[in-house]
Amino acid sequence: MNGLNIFCWVIFPYLMLGSFIFGTILRFTKFKGSVTAKSSELLEKRQLIIGSLLFHVGIIFVFAGHVMGVLVPKAVTDFFGISDELYHGFALLMGGIFGIMAFAGILILTYRRFSSLKVFVTSSWSDLIVDVALLITIILGLSASFIAGPNAPDFNYRETLAVWARQLFYFAPNYHLMAQVPLLFKIHVLCGLTIFGIFPYTRLVHALTVPLQYTFRRLIIYRANNKKSAW
Protein backbone atom coordinates (compact mmCIF):
# COMPACT_ATOMS: atom_id res chain seq x y z
CA MET A 1 0.00 0.00 0.00
CA ASN A 2 2.86 2.32 0.85
CA GLY A 3 4.37 1.64 -2.57
CA LEU A 4 1.09 2.59 -4.29
CA ASN A 5 0.83 5.79 -2.24
CA ILE A 6 4.40 6.75 -3.06
CA PHE A 7 3.74 6.09 -6.74
CA CYS A 8 0.45 8.07 -6.80
CA TRP A 9 1.49 11.07 -4.70
CA VAL A 10 5.24 11.37 -5.34
CA ILE A 11 6.36 9.64 -8.55
CA PHE A 12 3.28 10.09 -10.76
CA PRO A 13 2.89 13.86 -10.12
CA TYR A 14 6.52 14.47 -11.11
CA LEU A 15 6.19 12.22 -14.17
CA MET A 16 3.20 14.27 -15.31
CA LEU A 17 4.72 17.66 -14.46
CA GLY A 18 8.01 16.59 -16.10
CA SER A 19 6.10 15.50 -19.21
CA PHE A 20 4.30 18.87 -19.22
CA ILE A 21 7.56 20.86 -19.08
CA PHE A 22 9.47 18.60 -21.50
CA GLY A 23 6.60 18.44 -24.01
CA THR A 24 5.97 22.18 -23.88
CA ILE A 25 9.64 23.00 -24.54
CA LEU A 26 9.75 20.46 -27.37
CA ARG A 27 6.51 21.72 -28.94
CA PHE A 28 7.55 25.38 -28.83
CA THR A 29 11.09 24.79 -30.10
CA LYS A 30 11.11 21.84 -32.51
CA PHE A 31 7.43 21.84 -33.56
CA LYS A 32 6.46 25.50 -33.23
CA GLY A 33 4.30 25.52 -36.36
CA SER A 34 2.07 22.77 -34.97
CA VAL A 35 1.03 24.74 -31.87
CA THR A 36 -2.64 25.18 -32.69
CA ALA A 37 -6.13 23.90 -32.07
CA LYS A 38 -7.13 22.94 -35.62
CA SER A 39 -10.55 24.47 -36.25
CA SER A 40 -13.52 22.34 -37.28
CA GLU A 41 -15.84 25.33 -37.54
CA LEU A 42 -16.47 24.77 -41.26
CA LEU A 43 -17.76 21.25 -40.51
CA GLU A 44 -20.28 22.16 -37.78
CA LYS A 45 -20.83 25.58 -36.28
CA ARG A 46 -23.83 25.81 -33.93
CA GLN A 47 -22.81 23.26 -31.27
CA LEU A 48 -19.20 24.43 -31.53
CA ILE A 49 -20.05 28.04 -30.70
CA ILE A 50 -22.29 27.20 -27.71
CA GLY A 51 -20.07 24.40 -26.37
CA SER A 52 -16.81 26.23 -26.85
CA LEU A 53 -18.06 29.43 -25.22
CA LEU A 54 -19.48 27.64 -22.18
CA PHE A 55 -16.39 25.47 -21.79
CA HIS A 56 -13.83 28.27 -22.14
CA VAL A 57 -15.55 30.75 -19.82
CA GLY A 58 -16.19 27.99 -17.26
CA ILE A 59 -12.71 26.47 -17.34
CA ILE A 60 -10.91 29.84 -17.04
CA PHE A 61 -12.75 30.55 -13.77
CA VAL A 62 -12.36 26.94 -12.56
CA PHE A 63 -8.61 27.30 -13.19
CA ALA A 64 -8.51 30.59 -11.25
CA GLY A 65 -10.43 28.88 -8.42
CA HIS A 66 -7.88 26.04 -8.32
CA VAL A 67 -4.98 28.50 -8.14
CA MET A 68 -6.67 30.28 -5.21
CA GLY A 69 -7.82 27.11 -3.46
CA VAL A 70 -4.68 25.06 -3.86
CA LEU A 71 -1.91 27.65 -3.92
CA VAL A 72 -3.13 30.20 -1.34
CA PRO A 73 -2.46 28.76 2.15
CA LYS A 74 -5.30 28.68 4.69
CA ALA A 75 -3.16 30.89 6.99
CA VAL A 76 -3.50 33.74 4.49
CA THR A 77 -7.32 33.68 4.42
CA ASP A 78 -7.34 33.19 8.24
CA PHE A 79 -5.16 36.31 8.52
CA PHE A 80 -7.76 38.33 6.59
CA GLY A 81 -10.50 37.03 8.90
CA ILE A 82 -12.18 34.84 6.26
CA SER A 83 -13.87 31.95 8.08
CA ASP A 84 -13.85 28.37 6.78
CA GLU A 85 -17.63 28.49 6.27
CA LEU A 86 -17.42 31.67 4.20
CA TYR A 87 -14.46 30.34 2.22
CA HIS A 88 -16.09 27.01 1.37
CA GLY A 89 -19.50 28.58 0.73
CA PHE A 90 -17.95 31.00 -1.76
CA ALA A 91 -15.81 28.23 -3.33
CA LEU A 92 -18.87 26.01 -3.80
CA LEU A 93 -20.93 28.85 -5.28
CA MET A 94 -18.26 29.92 -7.77
CA GLY A 95 -17.05 26.35 -8.41
CA GLY A 96 -20.68 25.31 -8.91
CA ILE A 97 -21.53 28.05 -11.41
CA PHE A 98 -18.34 27.84 -13.47
CA GLY A 99 -17.85 24.08 -12.98
CA ILE A 100 -21.33 23.42 -14.39
CA MET A 101 -20.65 25.82 -17.28
CA ALA A 102 -17.42 23.96 -18.09
CA PHE A 103 -19.28 20.63 -17.74
CA ALA A 104 -22.12 21.69 -20.06
CA GLY A 105 -19.59 23.02 -22.57
CA ILE A 106 -17.41 19.92 -22.68
CA LEU A 107 -20.50 17.69 -22.80
CA ILE A 108 -21.70 19.52 -25.94
CA LEU A 109 -18.21 19.48 -27.49
CA THR A 110 -17.72 15.76 -26.77
CA TYR A 111 -21.17 14.90 -28.11
CA ARG A 112 -20.41 16.94 -31.24
CA ARG A 113 -17.04 15.28 -31.78
CA PHE A 114 -18.51 11.78 -31.60
CA SER A 115 -21.92 12.34 -33.22
CA SER A 116 -21.09 14.54 -36.20
CA LEU A 117 -19.59 12.19 -38.79
CA LYS A 118 -17.62 14.97 -40.52
CA VAL A 119 -16.09 16.13 -37.23
CA PHE A 120 -15.44 12.56 -36.05
CA VAL A 121 -13.58 11.38 -39.15
CA THR A 122 -11.37 14.47 -39.21
CA SER A 123 -10.50 14.13 -35.49
CA SER A 124 -7.21 12.63 -34.38
CA TRP A 125 -7.00 10.11 -31.56
CA SER A 126 -5.68 12.81 -29.29
CA ASP A 127 -8.69 15.07 -30.05
CA LEU A 128 -11.04 12.28 -28.97
CA ILE A 129 -9.02 11.38 -25.87
CA VAL A 130 -8.73 15.01 -24.72
CA ASP A 131 -12.50 15.58 -24.81
CA VAL A 132 -13.23 12.41 -22.85
CA ALA A 133 -10.43 13.08 -20.34
CA LEU A 134 -11.70 16.62 -19.71
CA LEU A 135 -15.27 15.38 -19.35
CA ILE A 136 -14.26 12.71 -16.80
CA THR A 137 -12.03 15.10 -14.82
CA ILE A 138 -14.73 17.77 -14.64
CA ILE A 139 -17.40 15.26 -13.56
CA LEU A 140 -15.01 13.98 -10.86
CA GLY A 141 -14.21 17.56 -9.72
CA LEU A 142 -17.90 18.41 -9.39
CA SER A 143 -18.56 15.10 -7.60
CA ALA A 144 -15.68 15.74 -5.21
CA SER A 145 -16.99 19.24 -4.40
CA PHE A 146 -20.68 18.41 -4.15
CA ILE A 147 -20.77 14.74 -3.06
CA ALA A 148 -17.50 13.74 -1.36
CA GLY A 149 -16.92 17.11 0.39
CA PRO A 150 -20.34 17.44 2.09
CA ASN A 151 -20.24 13.71 3.03
CA ALA A 152 -16.95 14.15 4.90
CA PRO A 153 -17.57 17.21 7.12
CA ASP A 154 -14.28 16.73 9.04
CA PHE A 155 -12.24 16.73 5.85
CA ASN A 156 -10.74 20.06 4.78
CA TYR A 157 -8.78 19.85 1.54
CA ARG A 158 -6.93 23.06 2.43
CA GLU A 159 -5.23 21.28 5.36
CA THR A 160 -4.27 18.11 3.47
CA LEU A 161 -4.55 17.97 -0.33
CA ALA A 162 -3.64 21.62 -0.90
CA VAL A 163 -0.63 21.41 1.46
CA TRP A 164 0.62 18.31 -0.40
CA ALA A 165 0.11 20.06 -3.77
CA ARG A 166 2.21 23.07 -2.67
CA GLN A 167 4.93 20.76 -1.32
CA LEU A 168 5.32 19.38 -4.86
CA PHE A 169 6.72 22.77 -5.89
CA TYR A 170 9.55 22.59 -3.38
CA PHE A 171 10.21 18.90 -3.95
CA ALA A 172 9.09 17.64 -0.53
CA PRO A 173 5.64 16.10 -1.03
CA ASN A 174 4.42 14.36 2.13
CA TYR A 175 2.31 11.54 0.67
CA HIS A 176 0.86 10.73 4.14
CA LEU A 177 -1.23 13.91 3.81
CA MET A 178 -3.14 12.28 0.96
CA ALA A 179 -4.09 9.25 3.09
CA GLN A 180 -7.05 11.05 4.70
CA VAL A 181 -8.37 12.45 1.42
CA PRO A 182 -11.73 10.99 0.17
CA LEU A 183 -11.43 8.69 -2.84
CA LEU A 184 -13.32 10.95 -5.29
CA PHE A 185 -10.85 13.78 -4.62
CA LYS A 186 -7.93 11.38 -5.10
CA ILE A 187 -9.19 10.10 -8.46
CA HIS A 188 -9.95 13.68 -9.53
CA VAL A 189 -6.39 14.76 -8.74
CA LEU A 190 -4.88 11.77 -10.58
CA CYS A 191 -7.00 12.56 -13.67
CA GLY A 192 -6.12 16.27 -13.37
CA LEU A 193 -2.41 15.39 -13.26
CA THR A 194 -2.84 13.16 -16.32
CA ILE A 195 -4.32 16.12 -18.20
CA PHE A 196 -1.19 18.12 -17.37
CA GLY A 197 0.95 15.20 -18.60
CA ILE A 198 -0.77 14.92 -22.01
CA PHE A 199 -1.36 18.67 -22.40
CA PRO A 200 1.58 19.61 -24.67
CA TYR A 201 1.06 16.69 -27.06
CA THR A 202 -2.58 17.56 -27.79
CA ARG A 203 -4.69 20.48 -29.05
CA LEU A 204 -4.79 21.72 -25.42
CA VAL A 205 -1.37 23.28 -26.06
CA HIS A 206 -3.08 26.25 -27.75
CA ALA A 207 -4.05 27.43 -24.25
CA LEU A 208 -0.40 28.39 -23.69
CA THR A 209 -0.39 30.88 -26.53
CA VAL A 210 -1.85 34.30 -25.95
CA PRO A 211 -2.49 35.64 -29.45
CA LEU A 212 -1.34 39.21 -28.70
CA GLN A 213 -0.13 39.69 -32.28
CA TYR A 214 -3.77 40.12 -33.39
CA THR A 215 -3.99 43.28 -31.25
CA PHE A 216 -0.98 44.95 -32.84
CA ARG A 217 -0.81 43.68 -36.40
CA ARG A 218 -2.35 45.62 -39.29
CA LEU A 219 -5.86 44.66 -40.34
CA ILE A 220 -6.20 42.12 -43.13
CA ILE A 221 -8.88 43.16 -45.61
CA TYR A 222 -10.73 40.46 -47.51
CA ARG A 223 -12.43 41.46 -50.78
CA ALA A 224 -14.81 39.36 -52.83
CA ASN A 225 -13.39 38.36 -56.18
CA ASN A 226 -16.16 39.57 -58.49
CA LYS A 227 -14.20 39.18 -61.71
CA LYS A 228 -15.27 36.19 -63.80
CA SER A 229 -12.56 33.58 -63.86
CA ALA A 230 -10.65 33.37 -67.16
CA TRP A 231 -11.01 29.59 -66.98
Contacting residue, 23, 95, 173, 197, with ligand HEM by CB under 6 A:
95
Q: Least distance (Å) from ligand HEM to the CB of residue 39?
A: 21
User: Is 157 a residue that touches ligand HEM (CB under 6 A)?
Assistant: yes
197 binds ligand HEM, rule: CB under 6 A: no
User: Using CB under 6 A, which residues numbered 127 to 146 contact ligand HEM?
Assistant: 134, 137-138, 141-142, 144-145
Residue 62 burial (CB < 10 Å; 0-12/13-18/19+)? buried
Binding-site member from 10, 108, 109, 189 for ligand HEM (CB under 6 A): 189
> What single letter denotes the amino acid at residue 131?
D
C-alpha 72 chain-centroid distance: 19
For residue 141, give the nearest of 205, 200, 58 by alpha carbon. 58
Closest of 192, 104, 106, 111 to residue 144, by C-alpha:
192
End-to-end, the C-alpha distance of the chain in Å comes to 74
Near ligand HEM by CB under 6 A: residue from 12, 15, 56, 66: 66
Q: Which residues bind ligand HEM (CB under 6 A)?
A: 62, 65-66, 69-70, 91-92, 95, 99, 102, 134, 137-138, 141-142, 144-145, 149, 157, 161, 165, 185, 188-189, 192-193, 195
